[in-house]
Amino acid sequence: MVSVLSSTFASFSRSFATLMTGEIGWLLVDEAGQATPQAAVGVLWRSRRAVFVGDPLQLKPIMTVSDAVLEHMRTRYHVDTHWLPNRQSVQTLADEATPWGRLAGPARCKTWVSLPLVVHRRCDRPMHALANRIAYDGAMVYGTIPPVPTKDMLARLDTGWIDAPGPSEDNLGASRRRGVAGPVADAACRRSETG
């Protein structure tokens, strides 16, 4: 059994404040191209490994601090413009740290993208062709296929939620974790008995 916790960067510090360095085995971040680097610091510090999935050519992170304030802080603390949070995202920094990838984007404005996913399966023509031409310089491969009912695979493992009622003072703090242990163990036993 593998525990999966889902959160936003905004609520992570309140929900998981009791976790220490390296207590999260795998951190999976979706839409990392829209996340500011400073938003990810706390959860990244608590993780042993991280996978960032995002598209640096799509929506940029939303900054609530003005460019003027950022520029003042940058000059005051002698920080290179490259590191300004209004110029980077979690995805762009992860891409820079990864040696495998390629330049992607329009011919006049290429961006380094690590391990790019080039097969696009989420939209149909003509939208795929339009986005491919405008943003990806024709590099995306059309991969949307119509569903085939005979090829659908049914899930082999039971999935679901485990309700662990009880008091909690601190959003998944110690009292809540004690309340979860019993239902999780019961579910694991039922699973092993049924094969």
pLDDT digits (tens, 9 = 90+) for 39-71: 999 999 999 999 999 888 888 898 889 999 999
Convert the pLDDT of each residue in 111-134 to its tens digit: 899 988 788 777 888 888 888 888
CA-CA distance, 46 to 23, in Å (whole number)? 6
pLDDT at 60: 87
Radius of gyration of the chain (CA): 22
Of the pLDDT bands very low, low, confident and very high (cuts 50, 70, 90), residue 138 is confident
Higher-scoring residue by pLDDT: 42, 104: 42
Backbone dihedral region for residue 96 (phi beyond 0: left; psi -120 to 50: alpha; all else: beta): alpha
**Residue 119, both tokens:** 């097969």
pLDDT at 13: 87
Cα-to-chain-centroid distance, residue 150: 32
**Residue 35, both tokens:** 């996340």
pLDDT at 175: 46
pLDDT at 171: 52
Q: Report the candidate in 122, 118, 148 with the shortest Cα–Cα distance to residue 135.
A: 118
User: What is the rounded average pLDDT of the residues 15-44?
Assistant: 93
Of the pLDDT bands very low, low, confident and very high (cuts 50, 70, 90), residue 94 is very high
The lowest-confidence range among 72-76, 134-138, 163-167 is: 163-167
